[in-house]
C-alpha cells in the first residue's frame, strides 16, 4: 500500500464531496500533499514548502496573490506537526483568505475553504 493511501482515504472523506477535476488545492501548511495524493494538478502559486524561520517569517513572506494563485480550495490543518508554521501563515494571510475564501467544511483535523466567486 502506498504511504499516500491513508492521506487519500482521509482526505476523500472531507474533500470527496467537494472536489472536481477542476479543483486546485493549496494546503496552508508546511507542505501540500493533496494534489499528489488526489491525482490533481496543483495550484499554480505556492512554494515547495513553508518552514517558519527557514523559508519565511513575520517580516519576509511571499505575497498572498502569488501564494494562492490558481487555488480554489485551501486546506488548513487543525492539529499535527509544524503548527507554529500554520499559525504564522494563518496570521499573515488572514486578510486575503477572509476576502477571497469561505469555510465550506471541516473535520477533526482539517478546515476546508473554497474560493468566493
pLDDT tens track for 87-116: 999 999 999 999 999 999 998 888 999 999
Is the confidence at residue 117, as pLDDT, over 90?
Answer: no
What is the pLDDT at residue 38? Answer: 84
List pLDDT tens digits, range 8-43.
Answer: 555 557 888 899 999 999 999 988 888 888 889 999
Q: How confident is the model at residue 79 (pLDDT cuts 50, 70, 90)?
A: confident
> How does DSSP assign 31-82, residue by residue?
---HHHHTT-PPPSS--S---BTTTB-SSS---HHHHTTT-SEEEEESSSTT
Domain boundaries, the chain: 5-115
pTM over 0.75: yes
- The burial of 73, by beta-carbon neighbours within 10 Å (0-12 exposed, 13-18 middle, 19 or more buried), is given as buried
Calculate the CA 76 to chain-centre distance.
5
Amino acid at each position: 500500500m502506498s504511504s499516500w493511501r491513508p492521506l487519500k482515504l482521509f482526505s476523500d472523506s472531507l474533500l470527496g464531496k467537494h472536489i472536481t477535476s477542476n479543483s486546485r488545492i493549496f494546503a496552508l501548511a508546511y507542505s501540500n500533499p493533496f494534489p499528489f495524493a488526489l491525482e490533481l494538478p496543483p495550484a499554480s502559486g505556492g512554494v515547495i514548502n513553508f518552514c517558519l524561520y527557514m523559508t519565511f517569517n513575520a517580516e519576509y513572506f511571499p505575497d498572498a496573490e502569488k501564494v494562492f494563485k490558481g487555488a480554489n480550495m485551501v486546506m488548513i490543518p487543525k492539529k499535527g506537526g509544524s503548527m507554529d508554521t500554520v499559525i504564522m501563515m494563518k496570521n499573515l494571510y488572514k486578510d486575503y483568505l477572509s476576502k477571497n475564501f469561505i469555510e465550506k467544511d471541516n473535520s477533526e483535523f482539517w478546515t476546508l475553504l473554497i474560493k468566493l466567486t
